[in-house]
A and B are shown apart, each in its own frame.
Chain A
């Protein structure tokens, strides 16, 4: 993607852990679980390779060894010790990079409140001000948790601290590699900032967070001045070490960016105001509104991380007639339009030429691919979507030399999919992370289709009754909801299905409908023939009606 301006390139002096050394150690250990690899050398043969956004190569081979990609091209000479991964029919993407991820980060242990605790003058740690806490120290790699991210294609994550207050600590970059390794990539990659507070102590609200930030910034500058003066003249008295100000020095020197959680339009404006008042490198994390701010952002040096979580459709439950009030239709339509806005936010950033990355901070993992498709359906180009998962975050956190694309010298982080990333059929078959191969092909075959949406129509004496049936498979068991026209008015209601039996060729369930004076017990039974359902709807004590239903092709696109 062509961008009008550069992404922030953070300075990182901090250490790059050499994974090679650690692999060596891992092999020296006993191997009870059979995890030890026969070889650390692989090649993916004859695959469709998307080495970076905007490029695609058919029948390509990729060779990687000891965690690093060594060659990519057609008909490569295969090293003797390399294990083949059959790439035919697979699409290979660079491993995704997630910013603002909290999984496996422990909540820091804080000192106890003293007996005579004065809430107006808390120690910084008790006020949520501990930028000197390193997420690297609080991060415990947990394979069960991290595997959930890897399974959907993420191979590198920026871990953010768990604290509640305004400066909970520095962030760290990890590779979602093998659990036996130290997977730390960069420590103290940025300082995390949020407008939240621990509550009950100063600072308690956004008001004091803003004021406290101004004071901290000025005092960091004075602290630096003191250090510099003391270096020249020991008579002025030693600098008393202040861990909070110490941690903020690199921020005031434009070396370490401030990663500001700012989802709402007003929080984004507040973050921009902070940057106007005191210059520092700013990255906005978790943005999911504020298309109106694009012209403002376009004129600034700001890194943008958009939210992968999208709002839920809350419009299926309409109001009863007597509750609707004037202009109900117009108002509900405005609300619906507002709900659609976040879906096209990413495409608006793309059109304005502002590069952005993505964060999973509020995302439910099961929504990842469908949300990506929703954004693409709402105008985001596939290249920009892929860039937001690969090259852009790599640049934003300063690891573009080792990640973000598939090319020689970069870390062997790749996602192997059964189809294109943005097609409904695309499933993650394998993930290469830090040179390790994780095979998820079995998951695909056992997964089957996890959701179904049907639209139905029933002929009743008072006219046609329409609605939808939604089925979700949880732990191998189907659960369902039915929506129907409310008997009290024009709105739509939803009800949970009871006694649900869903098979390839038959369906039955029951549900309750509340009317003004009674509760109706409704049972639906019938046969399924491919995408068609025919059966009956039996209202207990009343009547029986015929029902017909059709299965929706793409259940996830009903947001449109």
Chain B
């Protein structure tokens, strides 16, 4: 090992130690003189934001902080809430458990990969929260997990936003019918089958709930006269959905299938539902506004399969104007790095205001994930997930400069290193230059034995 290498290695270790050390910071922070885009309370010129222990405590001018508080001069720069991605598969070891049309029991929190470099890249694009979802192979997929991008930790649990309510993935249309119907000759083979699978699941869940209700009464008796029922975390999860404990996030494209699920949910008294992708959402916008927690769409992604041909870049704007809580999501480790560009497209296609456009990637996805009490805007009492841009975030010239989660800086463009990995995978080529994080999509981990047609 020559001296140059030693020196470089030493420097690198020191730098990575800096990254890791961020975790131990107090979460105290003072940002001075920023153009503060609050989302919920307009834009404030030359304003300071004070953060204590990760919570925004004051917004105003000439704020003072204790000596030890880190102060950032943000003169001429734009501070906005951390971007929230309501549909992502970031930082997951596994995405699909494609072996059954209903897999409500599986939990994405079991397979969080804290070493995924994409978390850091998302931070570099100002995204502080992502909704790590099960894939779309099954009608009722797994339970998702809402992640805070506290990159640098080796502990998967540290990434979990514990305040976030439970959510679950549903999927309609071509993916589940292809995987199970065409692939394995199981129900569902058509959109009718998809509905039947959901209805059967809900009915079974009701029977399950009744059986356990009976058993719990029986157990209190002096003499037990029946056998205990079987435990099923799958059916228990469906019971929890019916009891309103879990928000459904449903992969969907066509207006008819969206309307179908709205009807089924109404019938079973479920009102916590968000539709994802929703390319034909503009056709059922009033219904989405009335009966759901909103729609999470792409800005302009379509035509990658038959069910996504009837689409428009005006979708987000039409939904917004119809009163639907609308968000723009990435569904991609690449797109998640520039969701502010995606939001800006709604100004070109639909003429949304700055505030409406930015709400699509902040407070609206927060509402859809049930975390708007904590994040999604710059307000006193909210968690200090913040991103500082050099230009207005909807400008094509905007570049994120710093990103904070809970008042702790996890990205700073000035100290960005070429190698920000936490862990080196020795099973791959030893040379990091050749490593890619790989791309994943809604159908990742769907075994070839499940489907012959392998598409997005």
- Chain B residues within 8 Å of A218, by CB: 231, 233
Minimal beta-carbon separation of A197 from chain B (angstroms): 9
- Chain A residues within 8 Å of B134, by CB: 207
Q: Tell me if A551 counts as interface (CB < 8 A to partner B).
A: no
Q: Tell me if A241 counts as interface (CB < 8 A to partner B).
A: no
Question: Pick the contact of A225 from B98, B106, B228 — CB < 8 Å?
Answer: B228
Bound Cα distance A210, B188 (Å) = 25
Bound Cα distance A292, B154 (Å) = 8
Could you give, for residues 192-221 of chain A, a 1 whenever the CB lies within 8 Å of some chain B CB and a 0 otherwise? 000000011111111110110011001100
- Chain B residues within 8 Å of A201, by CB: 99
Tell me if B419 and A334 are in contact (CB < 8 A). yes
Tell me if B224 and A206 are in contact (CB < 8 A). no
Could you give, for residues 221-232 of chain B, a 1 whenever the CB lies within 8 Å of some chain A CB and a 0 otherwise? 001111111111
Q: Tell me if B100 counts as interface (CB < 8 A to partner A).
A: yes
Bound Cα distance A334, B434 (Å) = 14
Tell me if A215 and B225 are in contact (CB < 8 A). no
Q: Which secondary structure dominates where chain A touches chain B?
A: helix
- Chain A residues within 8 Å of B228, by CB: 222, 225-226, 229
Tell me if B230 and A222 are in contact (CB < 8 A). yes
Q: Total A-B pairs in contact (CB under 8 Å)? A: 174
Tell me if B233 and A330 are in contact (CB < 8 A). no
Interface size class of B (residues with CB under 8 A): 35 or more
Q: Tell me if A325 counts as interface (CB < 8 A to partner B).
A: yes
- Interface-facing stretch out of B6-14, B271-279, B289-297, B305-313: B6-14
Tell me if A332 and B186 are in contact (CB < 8 A). no
- Interface-facing stretch out of B28-36, B240-248, B325-333, B422-430: B422-430
Q: Tell me if B381 counts as interface (CB < 8 A to partner A).
A: no
Tell me if A330 and B8 are in contact (CB < 8 A). yes
Minimal beta-carbon separation of A117 from chain B (angstroms): 9
- Chain A residues within 8 Å of B98, by CB: 204
Given the interface pairs A207-B111, A330-B8, A330-B12, the reply to whether A233 lies near B426 with Cβ below 8 Å is: no
Q: Tell me if B174 counts as interface (CB < 8 A to partner A).
A: no
Bound Cα distance A502, B5 (Å) = 36
Tell me if A206 and B9 are in contact (CB < 8 A). no
Q: Tell me if B101 counts as interface (CB < 8 A to partner A).
A: yes
Question: Pick the contact of A210 from B110, B225, B421 — CB < 8 Å?
Answer: B110
Minimal beta-carbon separation of B434 from chain A (angstroms): 8
Minimal beta-carbon separation of A40 from chain B (angstroms): 49
Given the interface pairs A211-B106, A229-B227, the reply to whether A335 lies near B430 with Cβ below 8 Å is: yes
> Which residue of chain B is the closest to A225 with respect to CB atoms?
B228
Bound Cα distance A206, B134 (Å) = 13
Q: Tell me if A81 counts as interface (CB < 8 A to partner B).
A: no
Could you give, for residues 219-250 of chain A, a 1 whenever the CB lies within 8 Å of some chain B CB and a 0 otherwise? 10010011001100101110100000000000
Interface residues of B (CB under 8 A from A): 1, 4-5, 8-9, 11-13, 93-94, 96-101, 103, 105-108, 110-111, 113, 134, 142, 154-156, 180, 184, 186, 223-234, 418-419, 421, 423-424, 426, 429-434, 445, 447, 449-450
Give the top 10 A-B pairs by smallest Cβ distance, nearest first: A120-B100, A338-B424, A202-B99, A218-B231, A204-B99, A333-B9, A207-B106, A211-B105, A330-B8, A200-B449
Q: 8 A-B contacts, Cβ less than 8 Å apart?
A: A118-B186, A199-B449, A207-B108, A208-B105, A226-B227, A265-B154, A314-B429, A335-B430
